[in-house]
Structure formats: C-alpha cells, structure tokens
C-alpha cells in the first residue's frame, strides 16, 4: 500500500482545505496540527511527500524539515509559507526542500507540486557504477571541463534538476548560462516537456508582455490572431528567462503574480489560464546591484533567487580551456573537412594564459577561425588570430591586448552614417566582452535595439 502524504498545518480551516483538495485528486492524507504530532506521524508512516507549514505553534518549521531530511534524505518536502515569510521559504529551498507554496495556495498549484514530487520519487535510481543519463544524453550535456569549478556546477545541476525550485543562473557573457538551464531541464521530470528560452533583453519593451504572456486577437494594433506566449508554450516544461534583469519594471509585478499563482492572463484577455511551468532565469549582471539601483524589484528577486548557480569565467577554469579547444577543434575540423589532429604545446600554454573576456564563446570563435583559414595536423601559434598572439607578446607594453576601442575620427571619413553606427556599436560590445546589455547601458539605448541591429547586419538588411 502506498504511504499517505503527510500534511502539517496548524490552521484548522487551511488544514481542512488542503486535505480536501488532495483527497479529491486521489491522494491519501495524514494531517497534523503541530510539529510534534507531525514528527510522530513522519516516523510512524514514512511518507514519501510532506507538506509542511513553516510557521508552527510549537516549533520552527525549518528545523522540523532539517530533522526529517536528516532521518530520510529521500523525502520530498513541500514548504508552505506566507508572503511575509518568503525569505524563510528561500532558506528552506536551499536547505533541501523540493518546492514551496505561498499562501493563499491555489488548488491546482498544490496538486501540481505534489504530483511532481511523486514523479521524482518514482524515477528509478541508476544501476551501481552506471553513468547517469536522461533521454540518451549525459547529465550535463553541452558542458566540457573537469576543473573543480565545473565539477561543483555538475553536482549542483544534478541536485537541483529533480525539484521544482526556481534556479537563478549568474555569470559573465559566454560562460554557458543557457546550456546550464537546458541541462537542468534535461535532467528533470519535465524533460519530455518543452524548454522555452526567452531573451528579455532582446525584445522591445512594448512587446515583452505579449511575448511572455501572449495576447488575444484585437488586443492591440497588429494583433490579427491569438498568440499563446512563452509561459503557455512552456506548459508542462521549463521557461528560461535570459537577461531577466533587463525586464521592464512595469512587467515585473505581472511576472511576480505569475510565479505566485501559476496563472497567465494574455494581453486583452479577461480570463486567466493555469499553467504548470518551472522557471529558470539568468543574467550577466549583479542582480543585487540591480535591486539597489531600483531597476529590479526586491520581492521578485527573492522569489526567483531560490537556488543560485554562478557560472565561472573561463579564466578561472584551469585546463578546461584546452579540453574545450580540443573538442571544438575535432568538431569543426570534421565539419570543414580539415585534417587537424590537435594543439601543439605552445598553443596550449597560450590558451591557458589568456584572460578570455568573451569566455567559451570567444574560444569557440578562435578555434573556428583557425580551422576555416588553415589545415593541420597541429594548431600552431602562427595559425591563431593576430590579436590573440599579440596579447601575450612580451614586447607588448601593457600585457594582454584590450578589446578594440571605438574608431577614431580619421577612420570614419568617407563612411556612411550607417557604417559609422555599426563600427561604434560593435566596438562597444567588444569592450564589454561580447555583452550586449552592458554595451547598451554605455550607449544609453535599450539592449533590444542592439540585438535588432546586429540581426539586421547579419542578414544584410537595414534597421529602421
């Protein structure tokens, strides 16, 4: 017989309501009103899932949760809290809670949370000695590197993937934040569902709400049909909000409400829709600094910043740079029909010594450049782009070369205004290690403007 779920809630009306909802969904419930009674039931019945109110009359709920997890680490604990205690819920997630619910708890939200916890419990463990896999993919597909920093990242991804906890990924541009988000999704019980990525900095402010929540026909000029939006498209899967700190302040309260209620109201609609979505977000900025500056809501930050993962820059990953370069060389050589077999010793030493402001993205571009313009069998320093080699030339007065400065006035003579604009924008992006949002702040324009312009240049088109 399947053990019952354990519900520990001291308020009688809420205890009755939660129990009724879960029993109507087919679950067997054991309910307790105090920490002491809840712990007795926990040890007697060994429930697979516990719903635990963090504010109990006889004991702090967080300490109760820690005692339960110490006794049976495999238990899935869903903590319940009020808006006033959201910080405590964040602490609980970091201490091992599976999910958290904010009062008043919606019926579908509590059912989804419990059923997700039960699905995780039913996932069979890997055979002894077997390498964990999911849908035929390695646990952290897309990542290379065996440095201590990346070993820690792999462990965090495997730990957080089975839960419903919101993950907040930080790191410089080019460090692999989206790959991290995809790996979390691929290892989660939601892997068969959609993974929807949305770059909040690449979408004009006036279109962002529609892109996230959708719109109905006639909601605004140009809305010729219904559009579901990213939140609905991700139903049953994961929604990845990249550059989340670039989200317009006016939209942030709506995102917060979505996180709290799991409901979506498209632009122009009057009836909300329930969705079951796991949120992963990322930024290359310091989110706390954005909160201090008033560009990112503090309550939204604490609702999102449950499980933080910081992606280390390439310069802090030791020999990973060589491992990544060799793997990229093999792949690009096969694609381009070149005969490369590896890197010579001088090139390996050079790669280790560089600061890599553009991180893995910059390294991949360098290797692609080498493969396209040369042939093997070994990559030598002479094959590397000139600026890369000059950056470690002992005769260079200032050590590593800086990213290109903005073009001088003498270099702009004879160019069109559009050409000058492109030169200035690309120089600003290069100065910031490839970060479009940082370049946009320097140029005092919206990041979406720069993304659109670069997209137009890539297609050979003109920007409005």
Per the CB < 8 A criterion, the answer to whether 251 and 296 are in contact is no
Q: What is the average pLDDT value for the chain, to the nearest integer? A: 80
Q: Is the dihedral of CA 142, 185, 91, 61 positive or negative?
A: negative
Final residue belonging to a domain, choices 310, 338, 360: 310
Q: What is the CATH number of the domain that holds 367?
A: 1.10.8.60
CA–CA separation, 272 and 449 (whole Å) = 31
Residue 436 placed within a domain: yes
Final residue belonging to a domain, choices 329, 359, 390: 390
Q: Are residues 376 and 281 in the same domain?
A: no
Q: What is the CATH number of the domain that holds 202?
A: 3.40.50.300
Residue 298's H or E segment, with its range, is: helix 298-304
Q: What is the reported pTM?
A: 0.63
Q: Cα–Cα distances in Å, from 428 out to 201, 298, 458? A: 17, 30, 17
Q: What percent of the chain has pLDDT over 70?
A: 84
Per the CB < 8 A criterion, the answer to whether 262 and 275 are in contact is yes
Which residues fall within 8 angstroms of residue 435, CB to CB, at 6 or more apart?
172, 173, 284, 429
* C-beta atoms surrounding 28 within 10 Å: 12
Residue 403 placed within a domain: no
Residue 450 placed within a domain: yes
Q: Is the dihedral of CA 292, 160, 434, 451 positive or negative?
A: negative
CA–CA separation, 197 and 180 (whole Å) = 12
> Domain span at residue 214?
149-310
Final residue belonging to a domain, choices 252, 287, 310: 310
How far out from the chain centre does Cα 399 lie? 35
pLDDT-derived band of residue 55, with 50, 70 and 90 as boundaries? Answer: confident
Per the CB < 8 A criterion, the answer to whether 266 and 272 are in contact is no
pLDDT tens profile 370-398: 998 888 789 998 898 877 755 544 444 44
Residue 401 placed within a domain: no
Residue 320 placed within a domain: yes
Q: What is the CATH number of the domain that holds 413?
A: 1.10.10
Q: What percent of the chain has pLDDT over 90?
A: 18
CA–CA separation, 378 and 333 (whole Å) = 11
Q: Are residues 354 and 413 in the same domain?
A: no
Per the CB < 8 A criterion, the answer to whether 315 and 145 are in contact is no
Q: Are residues 179 and 299 in the same domain?
A: yes
Residue with the two structure tokens 């396209």: 372
Residue 143 placed within a domain: no
Q: Are residues 155 and 300 in the same domain?
A: yes
Q: Which residues of 204-236 are buried (b: 16+ CB within 10 A; e: fewer)?
A: eeeebbbbbbbbbeebeeebeeebbbbbbbbbe
Statement: residue 269 has pLDDT above 90: no
Average pLDDT over residues 213-220: 79
pLDDT-derived band of residue 91, with 50, 70 and 90 as boundaries? Answer: confident
Q: Are residues 36 and 18 in the same domain?
A: yes
Residue 130 placed within a domain: no
Q: Cα–Cα distances in Å, from 401 out to 85, 317, 369, 386, 392? A: 49, 21, 18, 11, 8
Per the CB < 8 A criterion, the answer to whether 23 and 29 are in contact is yes
Residue 186 placed within a domain: yes
């Amino acid at each position: 017989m399947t053990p019952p779920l354990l519900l520990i809630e001291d308020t009688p009306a809420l205890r009755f309501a939660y129990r009724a909802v879960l029993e109507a969904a087919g679950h067997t419930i054991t309910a307790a009103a105090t920490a002491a009674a809840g712990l007795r039931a926990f040890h007697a019945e060994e429930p697979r899932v516990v719903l635990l109110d963090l504010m109990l009359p006889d004991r702090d709920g967080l300490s109760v949760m820690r005692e339960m997890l110490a006794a049976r680490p495999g238990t899935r604990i869903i903590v319940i809290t009020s808006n006033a205690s959201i910080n405590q819920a964040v602490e609980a997630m970091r201490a091992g809670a599976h999910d958290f619910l904010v009062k008043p708890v919606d019926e579908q939200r509590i059912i989804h949370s419990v059923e997700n916890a039960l699905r995780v419990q039913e996932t069979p463990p890997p055979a002894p000695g077997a390498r964990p896999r999911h849908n035929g993919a390695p646990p952290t597909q897309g990542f290379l590197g065996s440095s201590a920093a990346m070993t820690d990242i792999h462990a965090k991804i495997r730990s957080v993937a089975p839960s419903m906890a919101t993950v907040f990924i930080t790191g410089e541009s080019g460090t692999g934040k989206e790959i991290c988000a995809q790996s979390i999704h691929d290892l989660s019980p939601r892997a068969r569902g959609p993974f929807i990525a949305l770059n909040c900095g690449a979408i004009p402010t006036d279109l962002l709400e529609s892109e996230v929540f959708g719109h109905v026909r006639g909601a605004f000029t140009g809305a010729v049909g219904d559009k579901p939006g990213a939140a609905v498209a991700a139903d049953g899967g994961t929604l990845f909000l990249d550059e989340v700190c670039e989200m317009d302040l006016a939209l942030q309260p709506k995102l917060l409400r979505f996180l709290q209620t799991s409901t979506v109201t498209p632009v122009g609609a009057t009836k909300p829709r329930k969705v079951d979505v796991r949120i992963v977000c990322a930024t290359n900025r310091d989110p706390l600094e954005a909160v201090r500056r008033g560009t990112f809501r503090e309550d939204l930050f604490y609702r999102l910043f449950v499980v933080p993962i910081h992606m280390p820059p390439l310069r802090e990953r030791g020999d990973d740079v060589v491992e990544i370069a060799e793997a990229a060389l093999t792949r690009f050589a096969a694609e381009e029909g070149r005969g490369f077999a590896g890197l010579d010793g001088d090139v390996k030493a050079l790669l280790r010594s560089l600061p890599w402001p553009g991180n893995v993205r910059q390294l991949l571009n360098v290797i692609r450049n080498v493969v396209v313009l040369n042939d093997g069998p070994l990559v030598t320093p002479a094959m590397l782009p000139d600026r890369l080699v000059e950056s470690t030339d002992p005769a260079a007065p200032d050590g590593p070369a800086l990213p290109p400065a903005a073009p001088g006035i003498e270099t702009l003579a004879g160019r069109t205004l559009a050409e000058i604009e492109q030169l200035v924008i690309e120089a600003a992006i290069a100065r910031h290690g490839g970060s479009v949002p940082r370049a946009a702040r320097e140029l005092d324009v919206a990041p979406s403007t720069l993304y659109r312009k670069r997209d137009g240049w890539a297609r050979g088109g003109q920007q409005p």
